Amino acid sequence: MVEETEFAITRFEGDEKKSKIYEDITPLKAKDVADTIFFVATRPKHVNIQEVLVMCTQQAGSNFLDRSGR
Burial of 56 (0-12, 13-18, 19+ CB in 10 A): middle
Structure confidence by residue, pLDDT tens digits, 7-35: 888 888 988 888 888 888 888 999 999 99
Please work out, in degrees rounded to the nearest 5, the angle formed at the alpha carbon of residue 29 by the alpha carbons of 27 and 59: 25
Interval 56-67: pLDDT, tens: 999 888 788 888
d(CA 36, CA 54): 8
- Is pTM beyond 0.85? Reply is no
pLDDT at 2 over 90: no
